[in-house]
Amino acid sequence: MSTEKRTKLAKEGKNMLAEEKFQKYPTMAEVLDELKQMADIGFPVLAIGLVGYLKNMISVICMGRLGTLHLAAGSLAIGFTNITGYSILSGLAMGMEPLCSQAFGSHNSSIAFLTLQRTVLILLFASIPIGFLWLNLEPLMLVLHQNPEITRIAAVYCRFAVPDLVLNSLLHPLRIYLRNKGTTWLVMWCNLLAILLHVPIAIFLTFSLDLGIRGIALSNFIANFNTLFFLLLYLTFNTRSTLSASSSKEANLFVPLKSSTAVSAATVGEDWGMLIKLAIPSCLGVCLEWWWYEFMTILTGYLYNPRIALATSGIVIQTTSLMYTLPTALSAAVSTRVGHELGAGGPKKARLAGVVAIGLALVGSLMGLSLTTIGRRTWGRVFTKDEEILELTMAVLPIVGLCELANSPQTTSCGILRGSARPGIGAGINFCSFYMVGAPVAVLSAFVWKFGFVGLCYGLLAAQMACVVSILIVVFNTDWELESIKAEDLVGKNTDNVFAHASHTAIREEGPEFLKEPPVQKQDT
């Protein structure tokens, strides 16, 4: 290393250490700026979640109007499609989050778009066995001795939902890509416009055309198709305008991963392998939690007076689904923010984003606790007037509120792990918490200690508490400098931070002596 370069890097290193010493804690301006950026991403995602909740409610209302039999069959079909299809696609798509967010943070947009393409292919490939399973729901349920009439109607719904499965293989990755690109508000407006069209379309197909359960499945497909159409319409015009304003190489989204050099088969295989390594644990993390609720529903059917318990279980699931929209939005927002900052070489800002998001999650969880304690009677009457169901609902809602105290920061922290490309840790924690802690507590409380459905909720509470404690320990012991270096290895280096990384590297390699001024060299006379 030359003397001039050594001197320059020494000064860089000293300045960085001085900055870290005098700015150990973020300023109020930095916190407020982070809150603003978090809200800019999180609020549209929250609105999208509420729109999705509203769409599901419209489907349930239409099923209820068709009759009790259709409502039971529709509930079976929705549960089956969620477990075997939508949860898997959603989880696999989350594998692209760290790659996209860190790539956009380091201004390597071609990596982000290539990740989008590959994720779509992975989801389409995964849809093949899932679609085959949906098409064969009826014989499968009959083997399990389900009611033939209910099974027949549920099978019709699943058959007509297969096109929506393919559509979600495109929509899930595109939403994540656009969120990390910074166009979350566009996604929100497209979803809002689609839901406005969904209401009359659902009524028309279900009742006016007398398609029944088929109309509900088709209306959900059309709603997602409209959302995808609006998004692609924007992308088409936006890409054309960008190409006309920029050089073709800079603006073209189809630039290969390493455009300056030839891409070998080994490199392509390595890139695919990295995406799959992130997608599989992300999928497991989502599915393990979703499946636990279905496990809880199955156990409810074995309780004394299962009619009351199952009805209450439905109210609990609807309540948790609504409350889940806020931590889901925070999880998505912090995943994007952490990934952006790590990709840009800003570990301190990534840490700040995580702390701010967890703080917001705690505030949101207190709101959920208030709803399930102070407003539990009013909330229960929204769903039922049956006094037995209402009494059990009022007994378990405070426990659900306590679960939310843990669930909100836990879900948000999972977003931090995704943004820093560590979804495997979250998946492992979810498995141990829900199945090694929550499931035994639920079984013992419900059946051995005779707490019934309340005991199952105790199992959920135990799982959430174990999960949040474990995941917060991991998050608050994160080496953010190391994660920033890993992000550089994953998606490349941000050229604005080359000297910062060089200083860090030189400090690590040459030790404290590097910070000293270089000796003056004697000139030969």
Smallest Cα–Cα separation from 493: which of 98, 106, 9, 101?
A: 106
Q: CA–CA separation, 351 vs 374, rounded Å?
A: 35
Q: CA–CA separation, 415 vs 437, rounded Å?
A: 22
pLDDT, averaged across the chain: 83
Give the pLDDT band (50/70/90) at residue 203.
very high
Q: CA–CA separation, 36 vs 28, rounded Å?
A: 12
Task: For residue 515, count other CB atoms closer than 10 A to its CB.
Answer: 15
Residue 65: what pLDDT? 86
Residue 425: what pLDDT? 94
CA dist list (Å): 73 to 65, 157, 204, 212, 465? 13, 9, 21, 12, 34
Q: Are 35 and 179 in contact (CB under 8 A)?
A: no
CA dist list (Å): 338 to 54, 281, 411, 476, 488? 30, 19, 15, 14, 13
Domain borders along the chain are: 3-509
- Percentage of the chain modeled with pLDDT above 90: 52
pTM of the model: 0.82
Radius of gyration of the chain (CA): 26
Read off the pLDDT of residues 355-382 as tens digits, 9 standing for 90 and up.
999 999 999 999 989 989 998 888 888 8
Give the pLDDT band (50/70/90) at residue 255.
very low
Task: For residue 473, count other CB atoms closer than 10 A to its CB.
Answer: 11
Read off the pLDDT of residues 466-500 as tens digits, 9 standing for 90 and up.
999 999 999 999 999 999 998 888 886 554 443 33
Is the CA virtual torsion 291, 294, 299, 300 positive or negative? positive
CA dist list (Å): 22 to 26, 27, 423, 479, 503? 10, 11, 33, 19, 19
Structure-block tokens of residue 388:
């037995």
Q: Check pLDDT > 50 for residue 418.
A: yes
Q: CA–CA separation, 78 vs 92, rounded Å?
A: 20
3-state secondary structure 195-235: HHHHHHHHHHHHHHCCCCHHHHHHHHHHHHHHHHHHHHHHH
Give the pLDDT band (50/70/90) at residue 295.
confident
**Block residue for tokens 């080496």:** 479
Read off the pLDDT of residues 25-83 as tens digits, 9 standing for 90 and up.
788 888 999 999 999 999 999 999 999 999 988 888 888 888 878 887 887 888 889 88
Residue 517: what pLDDT? 40
Residue 12: what pLDDT? 53
Read off the pLDDT of residues 123-149 as tens digits, 9 standing for 90 and up.
999 999 999 999 998 888 888 777 788
Residue, of 326 and 508, whose pLDDT is higher? 326
Residues 6+ apart with CB under 8 A from 403: 320, 457, 460, 461, 464
Give the pLDDT band (50/70/90) at residue 8.
low
Residue 427: what pLDDT? 93
Smallest Cα–Cα separation from 156: which of 81, 65, 226?
A: 81
Residue 244: what pLDDT? 52
